[in-house]
Amino acid sequence: MKNKLLGTGEDGYNPLRKFKVIMQGLRYSASDFSVLHKFMISVVILIPVVIYNGALDASIIVLATVFMLSAEMFNTSIEAICDFIHPEYHDKIGIIKDIAAAATGLAIFAWLLVLVVEIVEVVGHM
């Protein structure tokens, strides 16, 4: 697809090519164990939530999981870019990585909070 700002790339929009790129990114992310095990935790908790609490609670878990996984992917991307640009240790790169990790930590905290609330509700229904 042609970049309107830079004028680079090819003319035309190909949704299948975009879908292929999306799937490649998801495959790379799934190869990271930290992302995969968090996704599996959400799936395991999602099953009883759907049974006992309903669609609204399940959709909240899905949104929290997508938010957390997106933060993990952004963090991984930022760290990879920093390592590519400056492989040696540098104070500024360290600060950038720390900020990205802090954002991911906040997303994980929100995700865990949602999961704990939903688990408590499911246990209350049993």
Q: Which of 10, 72, 118, 121 is catalytic?
A: 72
Q: Provide the 3-class DSSP secondary structure of residue 111.
A: helix
**What are the phi and psi torsion angles at 59 (to 5°)?**
-70, -30
What pLDDT sits at residue 125?
82
Burial group, residue 41, by CB count within 10 angstroms (0-12, 13-18, 19+): middle
Q: Would the annotation count 90 as a binding residue?
A: yes
118 is in an annotated binding site: no
Q: Active site includes 121?
A: no
pLDDT, one tens digit per residue, over 74-108 is 999 999 999 999 999 999 999 999 999 999 999 99
Q: Which residues of the chain have pLDDT under 50?
A: none
Q: How far is CA 38 from CA 44, 52, 85, in A?
A: 10, 22, 29
In angstroms, rounded to a whole number, what is the distance separating the alpha carbons of residues 20 and 26? 10
11 annotated to a ligand binding site: no
Buried b (16+ CB within 10 A) or exposed e, 63-86: ebbebbbebbbebbebbeebeeee
pTM: 0.81
What pLDDT does residue 1 have? Answer: 59
